[in-house]
Amino acid sequence: MSNYRWTICALLFFATTVNYLDRQVLSLLHPTLEKEFNWTNSDYANITSVFQFVYAISMLFAGRIVDKLGTKWGYAISLIVWSAGAVMHALAIPIGEGLSSMLSWAGLGLIPVSVLGFSVSRAVLGIGESGNFPAAIKATAEYFPKKERSFATGIFNSGANIGAVLAPLTVPWIAAKWGWESAFIIVGAVGLIWLGFWFFFYDKPENQKNITQSELDYINSDRLDDDGIVEPQSAERVSWVRLLGYKQTWAFVVGKFMTDGVWWFFLFWLPSYLKVQYGMVGTDIMLPLTVLYSMTMIGSVGGGWFPVYYMKKGLAPYDARMKAMLIIALFPLLVLLAQPFGDLTFWIPVILIGIGTSAHQAWSANIFTTVSDMFPKKTIGTVIGLGGMAGGLGGVTISKLGGALFDYYKSMGHTQTGYTIMFAICAVLYLVAWLIMKSLVPKYTPITDL
């Protein structure tokens, strides 16, 4: 049997790496941009919230678009748009000046030019990046049987960790050598290289010349009817309203809403935390962030493998994932210790937050796969989009809350208190999310009437 499906997994991995590289540049340059443009914490929170809000709304449509165009073109268009949005950050000031003039003419020119320009750039980035996970999960469902999907998802999702590791190793150095604008341009252009490989290597499994019949049979092994024939997927479009009528949809949506914001909070605010708490800026943050995000790779790949242990004991895929996710949800509780012991050395919060973010990636590898476990293939992109929208809105909530708390306690001379509160919230959300998901879908219940 050939193993070409892992080549596709590698392509998804590299695309996700680029996705997170582009997403993280702003947070790494936040201390520099904050000083240059005199941003408040609320200004920065507003800019990041624009990305998350637009990403959330776009996810709703991205899943539809991927289902409509197919994985190949849906993914390609998504990457082109987000690469353009990443490069646009370098032109944020002229973009902001042009828009500010238009708004001033209409009597609405109250938003600072820099905030306006970066917000628009983040919006374009959010539109493009919203297609990554619907397309990647759909490709995984096309190329992997259910028993391998969480492992494959964990592998490609670890690209987020690699991107998060590479960003602090490269972005501060590029900015120091050539200026912050160059960091956005160089990192933003990397994704275009991936496109060539995507068009060369990807096609639907049934049209793929590099797959043997034995591998194709293996991929389709859990989609066969009683006569050994692959069950056809109806082309009928399934409405959002109909999908929201299933508790399985709500379990995924609630899980994403409550936990995605935690990952984004750490992704967007950790450089600022290290500056506020320990006075670390520029290249100082390279090593701690590299160590922290390197830890998350263990969670991503290990979390994808973890449910297999329970599947081998006879549990259905969904039940095995939920059992694994309960254990995973306990690890973020260690983040509660970050602030109490943070006075000893910055490495304590870095390691504890690293455990929390590693647990998030393990959680993410499994929650994504619950969709392909229970929904027919034709609806996967749409359901992922619904959950992604909920996750984005959760991210907006966390970012806005964080920005407001940090400004409030900064004005009172207790900046660290804001981070203590936010760390506590982030620590408990996974356990709460699991309890709600389990109450909605207590056991494996695949949807068969779509």
pLDDT in tens, 381-391: 788 878 888 99
Size of the chain, expressed as the number of residues it contains: 450
Q: With contact defined as beta carbons under 8 Å apart, do 41 and 182 qualify?
A: no
Tell me the β-bridge partners of 224.
230
pLDDT of 107:
57
Q: How confident is the model at residue 33 (pLDDT cuts 50, 70, 90)?
A: very high
With respect to residue 221, please indicate whether it lies within any of the assigned structural domains: no
Q: How confident is the model at residue 18 (pLDDT cuts 50, 70, 90)?
A: very high
The whole domain housing 289 covers 5-210+242-439
Q: Which one has a higher pLDDT value, 174 or 373?
A: 174
pLDDT of residue 226: 43
124 to 34, 112, 420: CA distances (angstroms): 21, 19, 33
SS3 category, 313: coil
In a domain, 400, yes or no: yes
Contact 51, 89 (CB under 8 A): no
Report residue 67 as tokens: 């289902």
Confidence (pLDDT) at 223: 64
235 pLDDT band (50/70/90 cuts)?
low
Tokens of 227: 């006569």
Cα–Cα distance, 285 to 297 (Å, whole number)? 19
Higher pLDDT, 414 or 143: 143
pLDDT for the residue numbered 229: 45
Q: Has residue 279 been placed in a domain?
A: yes
Of 12, 138, 149, 13, the C-alpha closest to 64 is 138
pLDDT of residue 370: 84
Q: Which one, of 292, 256, 53, 259, lies nearest residue 167 by Cα?
A: 292
Over 50: is that where the pLDDT of 227 sits? no
* Closest by Cα among 16, 56, 168 to 393: 56
> Rounded to two decimals, what is the model's pTM?
0.76
What is residue 305's predicted lDDT score, i.e. its pLDDT?
79
Q: What is the distance between the terminal CA atoms of the chain, rounded to a whole angstrom?
A: 32
Contacts of 1 (CB under 8 A, 6+ apart): 212, 214, 215, 218
Domain count, the chain: 1
d(CA 167, CA 182): 14
Q: Is residue 405 part of a domain?
A: yes
Determine the residue type at 338: A
User: Which pLDDT belongs to residue 228?
Assistant: 44
Statement: residue 322 has pLDDT above 50: yes
pLDDT at 265 over 80: yes
Supply the CATH number for residue 130's domain: 1.20.1250.20
Q: What is the reported pLDDT for 91?
A: 94
Q: With CA atoms as reference, report the closest residue to 136 among 59, 193, 211, 188.
A: 59
3-state helix vs strand vs coil in the chain, percent to 5: 80, 0, 20
pLDDT of amino acid 335? 94
- The answer to the question of residue 387 being in a domain is yes
In a domain, 354, yes or no: yes
Q: Domain for residue 297, yes or no?
A: yes
Condensed to tens digits (0 to 9), the pLDDT of residues 335-345 reads 999 988 888 88
334 pLDDT tier (thresholds 50, 70, 90) = very high
**Is there a domain that residue 10 lies in?**
yes
Higher per-residue confidence, 60 vs 105: 60
What is the model's pLDDT at position 225? 46
